[in-house]
């Protein structure tokens, strides 16, 4: 059945809407498990690109959706608001730091939320330029794409008002020194960028991922984000955190910047916010989001069905202590992956916070040559053995581990066992590379 379905899907669904790693066809999903149309059950370490943070098919969300749809299926909040969107906004303001007046903008995806940033921050600051980071991924719309620095998007020019600087990658330091990484990146920003192509008086905002996600699950040095915040305050530049993938508990705190007591001017949310439904948000200083009336709006933004799903999702995260689970089980997962690293020379680096984990594969640890083909092979073999993982990174050589926050230690043990078997099979040349090459991924 799945082969027939995939052939039909190939005929009607645009390739521009696809990133495929293996031939899966989904029938159903519950909790941390996905069932394929052929009846195979998979343990999912992707959470559907980190969307299923509370797991698949949570009964509380299902119940709320039915109740809301039957009482009020839709109203355009642009012109006829109702209480659910307001309650969601109040909750988002409560869980984000900052004692300044805040407001909330609501959309449908991380892309349109980052579009909001690209459009409104320069208006609010009355400055024309923005700064982001090489390797960053902020979305697919032209505004969010302009903010991005991922090579997968290099064919698109986007807006010319964004300058990209190196992300502080401890495993691959852009200036060659890990010990001085924070100093070198910030000195480059102040001594080179600010003094040449992007003066601070023209710079409206700096947008950053607290963990650079699609760039390779890169965790910056502990002192980098606090130092970046200080720099932004010194030059009166807005500091924006894109928390679309790693926010809402995934790192073991509500947000990645909470690990460093950093207070952003704006926070961008999406993916897991809706418990599987399409909704995004920007929580920001009032003066940013109130810079104009009706200048960044979508008819179905903040609709009652998606809003109630988000409210219930946030409550589930608290009630089921999923942030604590992400912290504790994330630490356990990292330790088990480090044991695999000792066993297999191809594992160059294991990194992450909570359940946002990256495993970088290299041809050898001395040259650190990216092992993209091996990474694709591991993902494919895991699929054959009943485990779902994707790969990311600017070199397509990082296994991304972002499971539902509900994952248990027993499920982590199962995942480690399958990963171990996959690496062993690769070592013994038991993986059909011709099958792997059919799926390009990134």
pLDDT confidence of residue 156: 77
The average pLDDT across 88-104 equals: 99
Asked if 169 and 248 touch (Cβ cutoff 8 Å), the reply is no
| CB neighbour list of residue 295: distance below 8 Å, 6 or more residues apart | 119, 120, 123
Q: Which of 292, 278, 273, 266 is nearest to 104 (CA)?
A: 266
Q: Which of 362, 361, 423 is nearest to 387 (CA)?
A: 423
Q: What is the pLDDT of residues 233-281, one digit of tens each?
A: 999 999 999 999 999 999 999 999 999 999 999 999 999 999 999 999 9
Q: What is the C-alpha to C-alpha distance for residues 160 and 342, in angstroms, rounded to an integer?
A: 45
* Angle, CA 282 vertex, CA 276 and CA 285 arms, to 5°: 155
Catalytic residues, by residue number, are 137
Alpha helices (H) along 72-140: 83-95, 110-125
Place of tokens 């480059």: 188
Region for 285 from its dihedrals, namely left if φ exceeds 0, alpha if ψ lies in -120 to 50, beta otherwise = beta
Lowest-pLDDT range, 95-109, 155-169, 379-393, 410-424? Answer: 155-169
Helix (H, G, I), strand (E, B) or coil at 409: helix
Q: How confident is the model at residue 8 (pLDDT cuts 50, 70, 90)?
A: very high
Asked if 382 and 389 touch (Cβ cutoff 8 Å), the reply is yes
Please state the pTM of the whole predicted model.
0.97
Asked if 257 and 264 touch (Cβ cutoff 8 Å), the reply is yes
| CB neighbour list of residue 414: distance below 8 Å, 6 or more residues apart | 43, 387
pLDDT confidence of residue 245: 98
Q: How confident is the model at residue 1 (pLDDT cuts 50, 70, 90)?
A: low
Q: Which residues pair with 102 in a beta bridge?
A: 285
Q: What is the pLDDT of residues 174-213, one digit of tens each?
A: 999 999 999 999 999 999 999 999 999 999 999 999 999 9
Q: What is the C-alpha to C-alpha distance for residues 287 and 284, in angstroms, rounded to an integer?
A: 8
At 174, list the tokens.
């852009």
State the CB neighbour count (10 A cutoff) for residue 383: 21
Both ends of the chain: CA-CA distance in Å? 27
Q: What is the pLDDT of residues 380-410, one digit of tens each?
A: 999 999 999 999 999 999 999 999 999 999 9
pLDDT above 90 covers a percentage of the chain that reads 95
Q: Which residues pair with 285 in a beta bridge?
A: 102
Asked if 281 and 270 touch (Cβ cutoff 8 Å), the reply is yes
Q: Which of 307, 286, 389 is nearest to 91 (CA)?
A: 307
The average pLDDT across 104-132 equals: 98
Asked if 166 and 131 touch (Cβ cutoff 8 Å), the reply is no
The average pLDDT across 19-28 equals: 96
pLDDT confidence of residue 299: 97
The average pLDDT across 75-85 equals: 96
pLDDT confidence of residue 441: 73
């Amino acid at each position: 059945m799945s082969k027939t379905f995939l052939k039909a899907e190939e005929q009607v669904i645009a390739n521009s809407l696809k990133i495929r790693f293996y031939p899966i066809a989904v029938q159903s999903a519950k909790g941390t498990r996905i069932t394929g149309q052929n009846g195979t059950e998979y343990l999912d370490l992707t959470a559907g690109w980190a969307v299923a943070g509370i797991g698949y098919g949570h009964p509380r969300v299902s119940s709320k959706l039915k109740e809301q749809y039957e009482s009020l299926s839709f109203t355009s909040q642009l012109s006829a608001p109702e209480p659910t969107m307001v309650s969601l906004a109040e909750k988002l303001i409560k869980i984000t730091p900052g004692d300044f007046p805040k407001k909330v903008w609501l959309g449908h995806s991380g892309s349109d939320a980052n579009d909001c940033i690209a459009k409104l921050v320069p208006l609010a600051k009355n400055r024309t330029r923005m700064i982001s980071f090489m390797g960053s991924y902020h979305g697919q719309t032209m505004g969010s794409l302009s903010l991005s620095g991922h090579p997968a998007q290099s064919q698109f020019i986007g807006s010319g008002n964004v300058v990209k600087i190196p992300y502080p990658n401890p495993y691959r330091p852009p200036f060659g020194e890990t010990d001085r990484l924070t100093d070198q990146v910030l000195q480059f920003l102040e001594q080179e960028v600010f003094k040449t192509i992007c003066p601070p008086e023209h710079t409206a905002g700096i947008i950053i991922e607290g963990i650079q996600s699609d760039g390779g699950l890169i965790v910056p040095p502990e002192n980098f984000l606090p130092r970046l915040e200080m720099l932004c305050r010194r030059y009166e530049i807005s500091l924006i955190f894109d928390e679309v993938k790693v926010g809402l508990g995934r790192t073991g705190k509500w947000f990645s910047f909470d690990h460093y007591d950093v207070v952003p001017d704006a926070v961008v949310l999406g993916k897991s916010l809706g418990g599987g439904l399409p909704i995004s948000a920007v929580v920001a200083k009032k003066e940013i989001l109130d810079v104009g009336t009706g200048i960044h709006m979508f008819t179905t933004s903040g609709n009652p069905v998606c809003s109630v799903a988000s409210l219930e999702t946030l409550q589930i995260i608290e009630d089921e202590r999923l942030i604590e689970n992400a912290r504790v089980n994330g630490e356990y997962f990292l330790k088990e992956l480090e044991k695999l690293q000792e066993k297999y020379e191809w594992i160059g680096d294991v990194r992450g916070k909570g359940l946002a984990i990256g495993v970088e594969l290299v041809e050898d640890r001395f040259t650190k040559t990216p092992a993209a083909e091996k990474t694709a092979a591991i993902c494919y073999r895991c699929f054959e053995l009943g485990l779902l993982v994707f790969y990311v990174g600017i070199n397509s050589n990082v296994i991304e581990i972002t499971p539902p926050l509900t994952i248990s230690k027993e499920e982590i043990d199962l995942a480690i066992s399958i990963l171990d078997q996959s690496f062993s099979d690769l070592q013994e040349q038991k993986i059909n590379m011709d099958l792997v090459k059919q799926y390009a991924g990134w």
